[in-house]
Amino acid sequence: MMCRLSSPRRLMPVPPCHESMSPLRISVGSLPVLASMTKGADPRFRLRWRAIVLSSACVGFVLLLFCLHRSPPARPIPPNPHGRHLRLQEEDRYNDTYPLSPPQRNPEGVRYRIGVIADLDTQSRGSEEHTWFSYLKKGYLVLSASGDSVTVEWDKEESVLQSHLAEKGRGMELSELVVFNGKLYSVDDRTGVVYQIEGNKAVPWVILSDGDGTVGKGFKAEWLAVKDEHLYVGGLGKEWTTTTGEVVNENPEWVKVVGYKGDVSHENWVVNYNALRAAAGIRPPGMELPLVAACPLPCLGSPHSRWEQLLEGGTARAVSSSCVPWAKGAPALLWGVGRGRLRAGGSENTHSFGLHVSVLCCSIF
């Protein structure tokens, strides 16, 4: 069999390796942008790159200026140790402000801010359960310009002070009102609680126990006095006796000395109270109830008869203040309030003595 041979095809010549890669433009001829990327010297690409760099630099510069001029966020001011130290120093100091309200002077005279507080005794029990109360009334004491007359102007409103502290069903029998360390204080003669008066509130501050401070009973506080940045709290000033006059203990003849931070010390004033008796010419079994120390006047006294039962008010006896530690040299005083009776030894004898019924205690503040 004879086979016909076809004529050989002409093969395309292979370009040498060193020629340019121009065929890329042929294969992507329809994409001139991609083609232009292969040429680093394309002037159009160079112009766009510079614009992008310039724009980015401008934006970055603006952001930098914004950050530099932006107000920093408010930060809490760190406490100043020096300022805190000064505040602590001020709190540590005794506040000797008195009176708390400056006197008001006018052509008619001088007006002093005053307050009175009530000792309701057994009537201090409130209608609510476990509640005891007292009254605080404020006003002005007006001393005339000539000094020969005094008038009192009362506020329309009165405050009712309440507490839930009591001893054997009694409490808030407030005996005294005094300014101490820039604050107003009173004391309950049943529980021994010293209250700080804040507006219409009675806030318990310290509790005073009877006698030398180790007795499990509240101190029967009857008077308050301020001396040398301390609050002196005194009691009856006589021995505690039975209803027939037998001496039980000397606890009421102790005095509590309270610092303005609330620290309490206990002082035995038996010697001082006996000196008060002697100054009034009273000897045992005679008795005296001073009940005051800032102005040492007896409120109840009998020169010869022992204490048995208090009935009615009468006349206080003369007292020399030389026996009071901080009032030595003051003249003797006499205070007359009428006549009264004192039972002694089963018989009723008439004597001169003063009766202190602690119903209202007045204080300038």
Whether residue 129 is annotated as binding a ligand: the answer is: no
Whether residue 55 is annotated as binding a ligand: the answer is: no
> Quick one: three-class SS letters along the chain?
CCCCCCCCCCCCCCCCCCCCCCHHHHHCCCCHHHHHHCCCCCHHHHHHHHHHHHHHHHHHHHHHHHHHHCCCCCCCCCCCHHHHHHHHHHHHCCCCCCCCCCCEEECCEEEEEEEEEECCHHHHECCCCCCEEEEEEEEEEEEECCCCCEEEEEEEEEEEEEECCCECCECCCEEEEEEECCEEEEEECCCCEEEEEECCEEEEEEECECCCCCCCCECCCCEEEEECCEEEEECCCCCEECCCCCEEECHHHEEEEEECCCCEEEEECHHHHHHHHHHCCCCCCCEEECCCCCCCCCCEEECCCCCCEECCCCCCCCECHHHCCCCCCCCCECCCCCCEEEEECCEEEEECCCCCCCCEEEEEC
Whether residue 128 is annotated as binding a ligand: the answer is: no
Q: Which residues fall in the annotated binding site for Ca(2+)?
A: 175-176, 222
Q: Which residues fall in the annotated binding site?
A: 175-176, 222
